[in-house]
Amino acid sequence: MRSRRVGISTFRHLLAEHCSASAALIALPDVAKSAGVQDYSICPEGLIVAELKAGAAAGAVLLAQSDPDYPQALLDLSDGPPLLWVMGRQDLLYQPTVAIVGARNASSLGSRMAKGLATESGADGYVVVSSLARGVDTAAHNGALQTGTIAVMAGGVDCIYPSENTELARKIAQNGVRVSEQPIGAQPQARHFPSRN
């Protein structure tokens, strides 16, 4: 997943064709060459080791789809992320969830309603999922801080966006969980938002 031109679809195809991640990695340069890509090389092992060390230093855990702790709800998706960084209360990933998302430029009424709905949902046993974005999403996380909330992030779990939500993100890592399919240290980019959503 960290090698150039390997997204979820290519990853799944390679894994199905070669039966293991290590066999797929060995075959990847030849597969790329047959597709017309010259001088292809896989992601260097040192970069992977550095990401794993950075994740551990940040207090994050990496889950692969083959992990018994990988969330079933994501396994049920046809395009669920093969790798998931998790920072915080991993137990929340296995509980019933409700997503609350909305406008970034939310009105005060919209923000109050989102916060109230999140608080009520948490009290009813649901974990509130949102994106840590401004507006409705921020209000939803704030409303569910006491009962637990999941922030699905477009960058790495250690890269807070928007920066004004740094304190909220810290609280979520304590009493909720931040998750991302992006590598540790990855700044959110426009192309990350659709898959995050």
Q: Residue 148: pLDDT above 60?
A: yes
- pLDDT at res. 41: 77
Amino acid at the residue 34? S
Q: Residue 11: pLDDT above 90?
A: no
pLDDT in tens, 27-85: 877 877 888 888 877 778 898 899 999 999 999 999 999 899 999 999 998 888 999 99
> DSSP 3-state assignment of 105?
coil
**134, 164 Cβ separation under 8 angstroms:** yes
**148, 173 Cβ separation under 8 angstroms:** no
Across the beta sheet with 83-88, the strand order is 61-64, 83-88, 177-180, 149-152, 127-130, 97-99
- pLDDT at res. 4: 64
Write down all domains in the chain, each with its CATH number in brackets: 1-43 (no CATH), 47-196 (3.40.50.450)
pLDDT in tens, 156-196: 999 999 999 999 999 999 999 999 999 999 998 765 555 55
Residue 12 neighbours by CB distance under 10 Å? 15
Query: Under 8 Å CB-to-CB from 45, ≥6 apart: which residues?
Result: none
